Amino acid sequence: MTILDKITSDKHKEVALKKSIIPRTQLEQSVLFEKQTISLSNALAKSKSGIIAEHKRRSPSKATINNALRVQDVAKGYEKAGVCGMSVLTDTTYFGGSLDDLLIARASCNLPLLRKEFIIDEYQLLEAKAYGADVILLIAAILTRNEIKQFSELAKSLNLDVLLEVHNQEELHKSIMPSIDMLGVNNRNLKTFQVSIETSKELSNLIPNDFIKVSESGISHVETIKELQQYGYQGFLIGENFMKSNNPGESATKFINSII
């Protein structure tokens, strides 16, 4: 069993438990459920840097990254730095995040917020909306084509942007549909956790130009971004690079200034 299989198996149990405690109707009555969303894909299309900066305490591949920072400080710092959007990890077991992190980020900034989660059920989209997300992540490796269609169409009905993540050609082919806004190529193999930027380069020509191309994982140098921009990438999800510093906002500011 790979780490991805284990995460997905645990996620099914977690979501089943949540559904038994908090009904869908309660999520739909949340104050934030009616809030107008902010489009990440629009922000990326207009940006010169395309940075999506992440709040991430730990990960299965790196253990603890940074537990000392407050979400509100990170969110405000990223907004001041001029990032296009903020990704918030909401998985507790493997990444140390929570839906409360998303809620706090929403109260602290006006950036498009991506709920970074292993989505396996429609219920999680309602949670994302109720806790202030503007964007959801769908991971092709753990979903069927029908599930991708079902979840992305529900997301669009909720005015949520959809970032669909792929790792190879097979996943990409099953994922191309009109209800997707952004196609993300994860340079980290979720089965081995090895990282290679070549993955983004190899898949770039196979992604239709209707989609904003996003490169994810393993990006820590400005040169890498400039190189990937040549391949048509407009978005860059940076997880650990800013979070391993004492001041992620300041780190992001320096990074963005080097690009533009």
- CATH number for the domain including 24? 3.20.20.70
Say whether pLDDT at 192 is over 80. no
pLDDT tier, 240 (very low <50, low <70, confident <90, very high otherwise)? confident
**pLDDT score recorded for residue 252:** 96
Contacts of residue 173, Cβ cutoff 8 Å, sequence gap at least 6: 206
Decide: pTM greater than 0.85. Answer: yes
**pLDDT score recorded for residue 174:** 96
pLDDT tier, 189 (very low <50, low <70, confident <90, very high otherwise)? confident
Give me the mean pLDDT over the 91-106 stretch: 96
Residue 45 CA to residue 212 CA, distance in Å, equals 7
Sign for the CA dihedral angle at 153, 134, 94, 139 comes to positive
Asked if residue 88 lies in contact with residue 115, where contact means CB atoms within 8 angstroms, the answer is: yes
CA distance readout (Å), 10 to 55, 62, 79, 91, 100: 22, 20, 33, 11, 20
**pLDDT score recorded for residue 169:** 96
pLDDT tier, 45 (very low <50, low <70, confident <90, very high otherwise)? very high
pLDDT tier, 78 (very low <50, low <70, confident <90, very high otherwise)? very high
> Which residues are identified as catalytic?
54, 56, 116, 165, 186, 216-217
Token pair listed for 148: 């991708």
Residue 163 CA to residue 139 CA, distance in Å, equals 9
User: pLDDT for 143-163, tens place per residue?
Assistant: 999 999 999 999 999 999 999
* Mean pLDDT rounded to a whole number for the chain: 95
User: pLDDT for 116-141, tens place per residue?
Assistant: 999 999 999 999 999 999 999 999 99
Say whether pLDDT at 222 is over 80. yes
Residue 96 CA to residue 92 CA, distance in Å, equals 4
The parent domain of residue 201 ranges over: 3-32+39-259
Largest CA distance in the chain: 49
Say whether pLDDT at 224 is over 90. yes
Structural domain total, the chain: 1
